[in-house]
Amino acid sequence: MYNDLAMTQPTKRDKAKQKKSQGKKAKGRKAGTLKAMAASSRGGWVAGMEKLYKPLKRPVTLRLDADVIAWFKTDGRGYQTRINRALRQVMLKEQRS
């Protein structure tokens, strides 16, 4: 037998799930926008390869100068991804030469 009150009003768990899923949607839209901007600014095989290549991520502790971190953080969330992207560009440039 179902409780009418329970069926009409969301529980705390339902509200928490809803709040969590809204955050994921917002992140997904932002990530999609960032990927589109990155693809349009880069071009060539790197932009196409990004769709296929998903390297294994490993947590590391890295000491960087405070001004470098501040510069990457000026654009907001995703600064670690931007640092990784910059390091990858340097790595690819070194491999080519």
> Could you tell me which of 76, 88, 73 has the C-alpha nearest to residue 33?
76
Q: What pLDDT, in 10s, does the model give residues 35-90?
A: 565 555 555 555 566 667 678 889 999 999 999 999 999 999 999 999 999 999 99
Instruction: Say yes or no to pLDDT of 1 above 80.
Output: no
Contact 7, 18 (CB under 8 A): no
Contact 72, 79 (CB under 8 A): yes
